[in-house]
Amino acid sequence: MTELYRRSAGKMISGIRETAEKLARDHAAVEPSIEKVLLFDSENEIRLIEVDPLLDPSAEGHLLPMRFDADPEGGVYFPSSIALIRPDEVERIQPPLSWGNWNDGQVIWERKV
């Protein structure tokens, strides 16, 4: 995966993967039902899929990511897109089209049982 870094006031700031891992930990801390978080490769945005069994079933039949602007004050220096899915839907619903397929996702956070 390409690690993208930006500079701010002359010092290195977080790369996409590092920031994605922080977002995954933060989301899992407030949503204890999240089972795992996958990161999909991109050079200019964070692309996450959160797997949560307590979600309502998908009505669309495909994943629609929520998009967020970068939030430098909050430590997120990249725009992000986050899609949510139930574990039982993973086999029949593919990631957003431009993200690739499930084999392209890397598990960056997983709940320990």
Q: What is the pLDDT of residue 83?
A: 96
Q: What is the pLDDT of residue 14?
A: 61
What does pLDDT average to over the chain? 88
Average pLDDT over residues 42-53: 96
Number of domains in the chain: 1
CATH code, domain carrying 66: 3.30.460
Whether 1 is in a domain gets the answer no
pLDDT bin (cut points 50, 70, 90) of residue 97 is confident
pLDDT at 45 over 90: yes
Whether 50 is in a domain gets the answer yes
pTM score of the predicted model: 0.86
| 22-25 contacts at long range (C-beta below 8 A, 24 or more positions apart) | 22/75, 23/48, 23/76, 23/80, 23/82, 24/48, 24/50, 24/108, 24/109, 25/109
The DSSP bridge partners found for residue 76 are 71
85 is in which domain, residue-wise? Answer: 7-110
Average pLDDT over residues 12-16: 67
Report the share of the chain in percent with pLDDT over 70: 88
pLDDT at 4 over 60: no
pLDDT at 106 over 80: yes
pLDDT at 11 over 70: no
Q: What are 10's two structure tokens?
A: 């002359």
Whether 77 is in a domain gets the answer yes
Whether 80 is in a domain gets the answer yes
pLDDT at 47 over 80: yes
Q: What is the pLDDT of residue 10?
A: 42
